[in-house]
Structure 1
Amino acid sequence: MKKLYKMKEYPQTKINRIKRGANRGTYNVEKINTILDAGFLCYVGYIYDGKPITIPMAYARKEDKIYIHGSTGNRMLLSILESKETSITVMHLDGLVLARSGLHHSVNYRSATLFGNLKKVEKDEDKTKILRLIVDQMVPNQWDSLRPMYQKELDRTLVVEFTIETASAKIRDVGVADEPEDYKLEVWAGIIPIKQIAEYPIPDEGKPKSMEIPQHILDYYEKNK
């Protein structure tokens, strides 16, 4: 069977098919991966004690896998491992769309919602490789500048592998959509672009105060300032 990450589009199912605003939807694997790779924070849904809960988590993607981690007592990770499935959402806000009517105010965004199954990563070697992926998805090349992990840290860490079975994305990247008669009104309308930026790195107390900032951190700052 052909692996999903080699497919051009995710299969459309009852759970991932976009009904509202379908013209903004896509099932294209490459476009969805681009949305996933543009960030490192996702929202994971789960049921705990009969109540729905959504929690933000750091993640990394490799092919058709998403990796998340937490403590071995993390109730969300334990809950989704017990259910053997979950959904994950990633969203980037790109702009505020200010219309002539309150009803037509909107936002420009890129979002992807993933559905799939998951399993616990057992081997320390595999856990270490995945934690490296997560750290480096946050700041590229950061892992190599760190001290090696202690065994007690690995023992306290639960790593989960989520395999994307199907997914969909929605993208809005257009201007105001007002009622035809409203374009004659003396009301300002337009877009306020939104961008997440990095400010100049601030060293921690102690030795970092007297150290040069590593080049990979300066590179990240220059790229994202």
Structure 2
Amino acid sequence: MTTQHLSPTARTTPTRGRNRQVDDRSRLMALLSDALVAHLGVVAGTHPVVLPVAFAVDADGPDAGGSLYLHGSVAAGWLGPTLEQDVCVTVTELDGLVLARTGFHHSMNYRSAVVIGRPRQVTDQEERVRALDRLVDHMMPGRAGTLPAATRKELAATAVLALPLAEASMKQRSGGASLEPGDLELTGWAGQVPLRRVADAPVTEDYVSEPVPESVLRRVAELGPA
């Protein structure tokens, strides 16, 4: 059963800025729901690589703490090494720029997660299909149910990895800049520049005659201008 609290190990416990550590697992899941891109760090042969990957989450998945699904090609050079060692996956959402009266205290508001563990390659056909549907729906909720089933060729070309969410930690920063004694006597503007992801209007392909689906329009509205 998934606990309601994060219990980072020595590998995932923050050593700096511990006041920003988040121990509520639901906030980790909310971050993983909001974010669209993860970064996978792995040692591939003689050197480390960090790669952007599509992902999806199943809080009730078969892995300890839930399953973080990662998508890739079976021909990718990083696939083999990823299955032979522990890897690190990070997810970050940038929420704002923090401008202080001194350069030292300029910062950013963010939510970030670190997950460390040994991935497994998903080989069970039913789980693979569920995971791939989740990957599509993570990008565009409700999309997978409107698409034809993946072909054998497509499934054969696609790798799905599952990483346990048991060894995970999260940090979050919000608010204004830190102040040092004397900062209030300085001059100059200080404040925050909030940031968020924004979607423009959908662009239909030239060969498509169907109208933009309601699910796409809803997603655009969620991410559209305020």
Question: TM-score scaled by structure 1?
Answer: 0.92
Match of 1:222 in 2: 221
Which stretch has the larger CA shift, 127-136 or 73-82?
Answer: 73-82
Measure the CA separation in 2 of the matches of 1:71 and 1:12.
31
Match of 1:101 in 2: 102
Measure the CA separation in 1 of the matches of 2:212 and 2:203.
9
Q: What SS is found at the alignment partner of 1:180? A: coil
Q: What SS is found at the alignment partner of 2:179? A: coil
Match of 1:69 in 2: 71
Kept in 1, the 8 Å contact 2:7–2:169? The answer is no
Q: What SS is found at the alignment partner of 2:166? A: strand
What per-residue deviation string (whole Å, max 9, x for no partner) do you get for residues 107-166 of structure 1? 000001112222111133321111000000111011122222111111111111111221
Taking the TM superposition and a 5 Å limit, the aligned residue runs for 1:44-193 are 44-63=40-59, 64-83=66-85, 85-193=86-194
Match of 1:27 in 2: 23
What per-residue deviation string (whole Å, max 9, x for no partner) do you get for residues 144-200 of structure 1? 222221111111111111112211111001101132312222211100111111111
Residue 40 of structure 1 pairs with residue 39 of structure 2: no
Measure the CA separation in 1 of the matches of 2:52 and 2:139.
14
Higher helix share: 1
Measure the CA separation in 2 of the matches of 1:144 and 1:12.
36
Give the aligned length: 218
> Which letter does structure 1 place at the counterpart of 2:109?
N
Distance verdict in 2 for CA 1:42–1:189, change over 3 Å: same
Kept in 2, the 8 Å contact 1:39–1:138? The answer is no
> Which letter does structure 2 place at the counterpart of 1:153?
E
Q: What SS is found at the alignment partner of 2:15? A: coil
> Which letter does structure 2 place at the counterpart of 1:217?
V
Q: Percent identity?
A: 32
Moved over 3 A (4+): none
Kept in 1, the 8 Å contact 2:45–2:81? The answer is no
Q: What SS is found at the alignment partner of 1:114? A: strand
Name stretches of at least 5 consecutive residues in structure 1 with no aligned partner. none
How big is the shift at 1:222?
A: 1.0
Kept in 2, the 8 Å contact 1:113–1:167? The answer is yes
Name stretches of at least 5 consecutive residues in structure 2 with no aligned partner. 60-65
Measure the CA separation in 2 of the matches of 1:58 and 1:155.
18
